[in-house]
Each structure stands twice: as structure tokens, then as C-alpha cells.
Amino acid sequence: MTMDVDEARQIRSSAELNVGDEIEAWHNGKLFHRGPVTQTVTGVDLFWILDARTGTRRLIDAEALVILRPAAAGPAKAPSRAPIHKSTHTSTQPSHMPLFQAPGLAG
């Protein structure tokens, strides 16, 4: 039985994390947050990270997002939920977007 690469990287509970572990938080195939764990609250499956993009602390809900350990090398890649289709169109959207954003603020 072969294990999918994303399954090997996936964190299913904050109990699997230690302070200092690097994580990526994904939602609907998009990377929302990345950074080191600063604190865990295992009783409610939450943890804090220091967001690499903004430099601010973020409270992450391990049940609401797909949490992955970063790939060893290379650019970030969306967790595989469906076949990947290559496109010649390049996106102008930033790779990091807040989970909730007012429609008028979307770029």
C-alpha cells in the first residue's frame, strides 16, 4: 500500500505538533497561512503560529483547515484533492489570502 505524499505530511490534530514545527494551513486548495507553531491548545485542537507573510500571530483550527508539514524542497503545492490540471494562464492573485475577506477588498 502506497501512502499519498500529502497524507504523510498532513497533521490531523494539534497534539501532533510541537512548538517550533513549521506548518502550512490550506483551505479549498489555497495556502492561507504558513509559519512556525508558537503554542498549542490540544484540549480544543487549536494552535498558534507566527504567520510568515504578515509576521503576526494566527490562531489555527486544525479541524477547519488542512494542516500540512511543508514539503522538503521546492515551491508550495496545493494538497491533492483532485487531479492537477496545468494551465498556460498565470494567476495574478497572491498565494496567501486571508480566510475571510470582504468582497470589496478582493484584488
- Domain locations along the chain: 1-67
Do 81 and 29 form a contact (C-beta atoms < 8 A)?
Answer: yes
Q: Using DSSP, state whether 51 is helix, strand or coil.
A: coil
**What pLDDT, on a 0 to 100 scale, did the predictor assign at position 47?**
95
**pLDDT-based confidence at residue 102 (cuts at 50, 70, 90):** very low
Q: What is the third-level CATH fold of 1-67?
A: SH3 type barrels. (2.30.30)
**What pLDDT, on a 0 to 100 scale, did the predictor assign at position 63?**
86
pLDDT at 79 exceeding the cut of 60: no
pLDDT at 12 exceeding the cut of 50: yes
pLDDT at 103 exceeding the cut of 70: no
**pTM for the full model?**
0.61
pLDDT at 26 exceeding the cut of 60: yes
What single DSSP character describes residue 45? T
